[in-house]
Each structure stands twice: as structure tokens, then as C-alpha cells.
Amino acid sequence: MQFQVKGRNIDVTEALRSYAEEKLLKLGKNLNSASTMELEFFVEKNPSIADNQVAEATIFTKGPVLRAKGASGDMYASIDLVADKLGRQVKKYRSKLVSHDAHVRGSLPPDVGVATAFAGEEEEEEEGGPQIVKTKQFLIKPMSVEEAALQLELIGHEFFVFQNADSNDTNVIYRRRDGNYGLIEPK
């Protein structure tokens, strides 16, 4: 598995890198299809944020993209938080694989992306109202509504954009406040 580490507003020391590798590469071994893991460290410069040491990790698999973010006052503790969150996602994903049919198991594409920002990211507002502060591009592959719901659950976001394999239309599945899912389809 490829392991990439980046730092923003922080120098990534060899000790920090090796600690992160030790904690996170174990998770990749539990995923047979994991190909790349990206880890980004950064320090929030806002003095009102107590947990300013942030670690974000993304695992790209042949199936879903697993992503977690951890923040604390210490970077090593943030790595531990990310490892715990990703560990739960890996367990959930593996249990879902066992419970689904074989054709569903292998059909999640490797490069499905998510067009949402991480929960908790702050957006800057300029005069004149909200501005677009982040743009993501990703390849949309056909999948069933059930597969999209699984992907939404695994990444932990509020919505997921996908191409419906039945209708070939672009759909959005989202988590409702009552805990169920909603599906947006074009007419």
C-alpha cells in the first residue's frame, strides 16, 4: 500500500510520520483492496480553537473511500483519534461485505468520490454572502441505490452523488433527520 503524508502549517518529523504509519498501516492490512492512504497534518491558526492539531486520513480502496478527521491539542492524540475512527469504518465495511451478495461486493468502483467538505470545516464569509471555498471533482460510476446508501454510511457524510445504474441518471442520496435516507432524482 502507498502511504502519503503531507503537512500544512507544520513540519512533519520522522517520528510523527513513523508513529502515523505504525498506527494506520495496520488498517490497510485489514482491507485487501486498499491501494493508497493519504494523511494530512495541519495546525489551525485560530486562537479560539483549543483542539488545533488536526490529522485527516483517507484510504482509497477498490470499493468505498474511507475518510476520518481527528483534532486535539496534541498531534499524536489526533492520530490516535483518526486511527480509531478509521478502524470503526473498516469494521463496518468488512461486515457489510459479508452480508451483501457477491455481485454487490465487487461492484463498488475504486474512484468514487464525495463532493462534500469535512464536517467541522469552517467556511470564510466575505462581504456579499457565502462564497464557494472548496471545489471537488470526482469520477461518477454507475451503482445501485443500495450501494450508494452503503457508500454514504461508510464515509459518514450527509449526502452522496452517484450515477444510478438502473436509470443512468445522476442521483443524490441523503441522510434525513429521522435517520432514514432520501433520494433525489431528476425528472
pLDDT tens string 55-92 = 999 888 777 788 899 999 899 999 999 999 988 888 88
Cβ contacts of residue 168 below 8 Å, gap of 6+?
142
Pick the CATH number of 1-99 from 3.20.20.140, 3.30.160.100, 3.20.20.80, 1.10.630.10: 3.30.160.100
What architecture (CATH level 2) is domain 115-120+128-187? 2-Layer Sandwich (3.30)
pLDDT higher for 136 or 82? 82
Residue located via cell numbers 468488512: 94
Q: Identify whether the C-beta of residue 44 lies closer than 8 Å to the C-beta of residue 124.
A: no
- Position 105 scores a pLDDT of 43
Per the document, the length of the chain is 187
